[in-house]
Structure formats: structure tokens, C-alpha cells
Amino acid sequence: MAKTVCKATRESFGIALCEMAKTNKDIVVLDADLAAATKTSIFQNEFPERFRDCGIAEENMLGVAAGLAAAGKIPVAASFAMFATGRAYEQIRNSVAYPQLNVKIAGSHAGISTGEDGATHQCLEDIALMRTLPGMTVLNPADHYEMMEATKAALMLDGPVYIRLGRLAIDSFNDPETYKFELGKGITLHEGNDIAVIASGLVVNEARKAVEALEKEGINARLINIHTIKPIDREIIIKAAQECGQLITVEEHNVIGGLADAVCEVTSAECPVKVTRIGVYDRFGYSGPAWELLEKFGLTETNIKKVIKETVGK
Amino acid sequence: MSGKSTAELKVLAAKARLGAVIGTYHAKSGHPGGSLSAADMFTYLYFNEMNVNPSNPADPDRDRFVLSKGHCCPSMYAVMAMKGYFDWDELTRLRHIGAMLQGHPDMKRTPGVDMSSGSLGQGISAACGMALAAKFDNKDYRVYTVLGDGECEEGQVWEAAMFAAHNKLDNLVVIVDQNGLQIDGTVEEVCGIEPLDKKFESFGFEVAKINGHDFDEIKAALDRAKTVKGKPFAILMKTVKGKGVSFMENQVGWHGKACNDEEYAVAVKELEEKIARLEAEV
């Protein structure tokens, strides 16, 4: 196992974007005055001729991206998740998703872990918004290595993709020697049949710590990492529902519209089981240090462990 | 460039108007008013201005057209049918289930449509993206987009205008069809946009103001646009909404409804007589 790196996934995204751009000259990048924050600045420094700052004008940025894609380029449009998917939602719907244009939308500073900036910048609805768009691929990678591979896969896919990036530096848990990213395929990180925990994004590592700690207490929970929220891996969810009997979802997103709903849509149709949802319960965030907020919202190891124990009944 | 004569262009534009009336009548819906006001510009663009070839609609080096005021597609479809992109009879299936010709332009369904559009304010941004792609690729194709005057109330139009000037998109021509009317009334009553020329100038555009029904003025403006370097070009064309059908001219009510049987008969008769007169002049 390679040593753990502590990196924000926005940075991993910037690095991977740059790597891909070296061999693919069609990749161009747009940002909306947040290049230093979204880390498209890494690309900007290396390929200034293929970078355009659109200024604080996200709606136009998404439209420009659509036009670039219609003319054969591979545009990446980056901003905070809130503004990329919220402000420019209708531009994404009508100018990108409807014509199925090859635009990659990168939403950084997603979730409560955006921290001190508070509710206006803590986007908890981006996955819900993007998931409802026909033909949109929705990615929510969980650590540095996964983000690197997911970014590459997104750029190689011909079609619209939303990729969620985090602000907070987090420890990696995947092993780059063995890690394989397969679009639309969940990854079982821990075997077990007492219950299945299905997590996505930054909280996967918290769920991993919880599951591993509980193993010592005699609870064998299965842990599944869903990096592709759409198209979701139906097979892995149905199998988990059948073999474990009940599920817990964990996400740094409103429980409405995100991973929880994506999982419930599969189980309710194919294998109805009880699904306990860990996430943000239909509310806005507030200012504070990221880890303290994650703790308050029950998205860290402590609460995940507690919920697993309660749910399993041990 | 094929170079149609003005007399030939007048015939084609009258036929485009007839196509818009036929299409919306068969659809029992649609937007004849703005289709008729922009018909002359569409005709000139497709027949005399743009480097496009209906037998190779995906040519990467072609000029691009984005109908930002997408609801005015009926006359654009008619022009495209006459140009040879698809059969004229498609117009009678406009807006029908499974139709090639959707209520608003759809690049996936209609050959020759360069961008899906219809949500106002968005087409101009896509046109900027195409113009920027030409710059990235060192290609010399040009990008044309037609907006409504009411559409200029959308904030995105001005984000795009800023972007176009900042990026020196001198391969972009933004055309505003100033027929003066929108759904709720005249543009000046609803939420005035004037002085539009000064707005575009202050946003960094070179601006021409023309009569959008005069082919000599259309030609002069589009020719001038090609001589301007380092900045985008805007053509503000004064037009008559509903132009060419007597009872539709300058009537707000004809923004978004189709002719009934009696109105259809009158409109078709007027346009067919006009076409016959114009053909005699060719």
C-alpha cells in the first residue's frame, strides 16, 4: 500500500486535468473567477493558451462550453458546485444536456465541508440537480487516487459529465497500485453481511473507519463506495440488499435527491429493504470549521458507527 | 458563395414566409410574428453569406449559425429546406410527434442546425463558444447568431457580450431582430432596452443599424463585419413583426399563435400572389 496522501480532491482534479491535456489538445478549460480555488489554475499555468476565465458569469460560461463542444473541443467548465450547477442549472439543462454535448462540469467546494463560507457556498443539492438531467453522468470521487482516475475517465467519455470536487484536504485510502476506476461500477471496500453501508465522496473514508472499527466489535458490515452516482451500479446495490437485508447510505448532500434516493430508487423497484439515510436532512448549513461541521451534521466516523450499531441492533 | 440576386433573394424570402405560415398552421401553434420579421436575414445568411453546404452539414470548417431566438425557427426551417438540408414537406410536420422539425431548434434531430436553442439568452453564449473554438483551432470560419430584441432583456446576453469583446471574437456577428414587440407588449413598454446601439458599443462591439428588410443594407452590414478586426460585430436590424402577412404586421397577438383556416387562406393567398409578382421580376 502506497503511503496515504492528504489532498483536496479539487487539487487531484487539477493535476489529472493537466496530465490529460498534455496528450489531448482538444481539452480546454473555462473558469468563473475561481481558478485558484477550483484548481484549474494548475491547467491555466501550464496551458494558458487553452484556458479562458469567463469572469463571474457562470450562465455564459456554460453556454460557451456548449458552443466549444459543438465545435469539437472538450471543454471543462469549473466553478463552485453551487454556482456551476445552481446558477447555471438551466444552461446546463438546455444547452449542454439536451443536445448531449461533450462538456465536463466541475463543481468544487461541494458540501458542508466548504466550511467557514457558510450556507450560501455549501452546496448540498448539486447531485440532485445533475442527476435529474437525462444523459448526465454524475461522479463523486472519494479520495485523491479515485479523483485522478475519475477525471481521466470523464475526459475520455463522449458526453456531459458532472464531477464533484471538495475543498477540504482529506486522507487517501485507496491503493494506487491496485485501484481500478470503472465508470458506473461501485467498489466493495469491506466485505460483510450484517448490513451494507453505501457511501459516496468525502464521507467514504469516514464510513470505512467506522466499518473497520465495528469489525472489532463483532459487526461485519459491507462497505460499498459509489463514485458514479449516475448511472448507478444497480447490480452491486441489489446484491447488497439481498445478502445483507438492510442498507445505510452516507453522503455529504441533502438526503433528498442524492445518493440516498438513487439507492432507494433501485431497492424499491428491485429488492425492497429498509434503507437508513445518513446525510443532511433537508436543511441549510452554516459557518464553521469543516471537520466540526461534518461532526455536527453526523457525517464522521462517530455518528456513522452509532447508526450502524443501532440499525444492526447490537 | 452562390450569390443570389436581390430579386432572387426576395422570392426566397417570400417563400420562407410562406413556409413559416404553412408550418405553424399545420402545427396549430408556433411563432409566426418573429419568423416573418427575421425571414429576410435568414434568407441572406443561408444563400449569400455563410459558407455552408447542405450535403456536408457537419463540415468542421463551415460557418455556424445559432438561432438564439429559437422560437423563430419556422422561417429558418423553410430557408434550410430551400437550401437543401431536408424536404420542404417536413414543414407540414413541424411540431408533430416524431418530427424532424421541433418547436425549437434541435441539433440532434435536424441536419444543418448547429445548436439546440430556444431558451432565450443562451444561443449567444453558444455562438461565443463556437467563435472561440475557431480561435483555438486557428480556423477562419465565422459564427452568426440572431437574437430577439426582447431577448436582450436576459442578463446572459450581456455576460456573453462582455465575453465576446474581451476575447476579441471578430469572427462573431450578433444580429438583433428589432421588431419591437414581445409577448406582453412593446419592448419599450415591457422593459425597455434602448439605447441598444450604445449598449453594444459600450460592451466593445462595432455596431451597424440597418433596415432588416433591405437586402442591400443587410449585405453592406455583413460585408462591413468582415473588415472589423479585434472586436465582435453587432447588427441591429429594425424589422416589422409579422412582415409580409397584412393582418399580422406589427400585431403583438401574432407572436405565438397559428392561423385558423380562414386566416391561413388569406395569408397563403397574399404570399403566393407576392411570390408570383416577385418571380416575374427575376
Write out pLDDT tens, residues A53-70.
999 999 999 999 999 999
- What distance in Å separates residue A69's CA from the closest CA in chain B? 8
Q: Is the pLDDT of residue B2 over 60?
A: no
Q: Pick from A57, A65, A100: which is nearest to B159 by CB?
A: A57
Closest to A92 measured CA to CA, from A43, A135, A151, A55: A135
Cell numbers 462540469 correspond to what residue?
A: A105
Residue A103 near chain B (CB below 8 Å):
no
| Beta carbons of A64 and B163 less than 8 Å apart | yes
CATH superfamily entry for domain A6-171: Thiamin diphosphate (ThDP)-binding fold, Pyr/PP domains (3.40.50.970)
Distance CA A184, CA A191 (A): 20
Active site residue A58: yes
Closest to A88 measured CA to CA, from A102, A105, A101: A105
Q: Is the pLDDT of residue B203 over 90?
A: yes
pLDDT tens digits for range B237-257: 999 999 999 999 999 999 999
- Could you tell me the pTM of the whole model? 0.97
Q: Is the pLDDT of residue B1 over 60?
A: no
A74 to A86, A160, A209, A253: CA distances (angstroms): 22, 10, 38, 28
Amino acid residing at B141: Y
Distance CA B76, CA B15 (A): 11
Cβ burial of A217 (10 Å; 0-12, 13-18, 19+) is exposed
- What distance in Å separates residue B133's CA from the closest CA in chain A? 5
Asked if the interface predicted TM-score (ipTM) of this complex is over 0.95, the answer is yes
- For residue A224, what is the DSSP state? E
Q: Pick from A50, A52, A63: which is nearest to B126 by CB?
A: A63
Q: Is the pLDDT of residue A183 over 80?
A: yes
Residue A1 near chain B (CB below 8 Å):
no
A172 to A6, A169, A210: CA distances (angstroms): 6, 9, 16
Closest to B86 measured CA to CA, from B46, B28, B116, B31: B46
Q: Pick from B123, B128, B162: which is nearest to A55 by CB?
A: B162
Residue A134 near chain B (CB below 8 Å):
no
* Per-residue three-class SS string for A104-169: EEEEECECHHHHHHCCCCCECCHHHHHHCCCCCEEECCCCHHHHHHHHHHHHHCCCCEEEECCCCC
**CATH of region B6-281:** 3.40.50.970
The three-class DSSP label of residue A17 is: helix
| Beta carbons of B129 and A68 less than 8 Å apart | yes
pLDDT tens digits for range A14-57: 999 999 999 999 999 999 999 999 999 999 999 999 999 999 99
Active-site annotation holder among A11, A58, A146, A251: A58
Best of A24, A28, A60, A98 to mutate (most B CBs within 10 Å, chain B) = A60
A19, A152 in Cβ contact below 8 A? yes
Residue ranges of domains in chain A: 6-171, 187-308
B238, B181 in Cβ contact below 8 A? no
pLDDT at A1: 62
A30, A65 in Cβ contact below 8 A? yes
Q: Which neighbouring-strand residues pair with A223?
A: A190, A197
Q: Which neighbouring-strand residues pair with B178?
A: B238
| Beta carbons of B125 and A59 less than 8 Å apart | yes
> For domain A187-308, which architecture applies?
3-Layer(aba) Sandwich (3.40)
For A253, the enclosing helix (H) or strand (E) is strand A246-254
| Beta carbons of B132 and A50 less than 8 Å apart | no
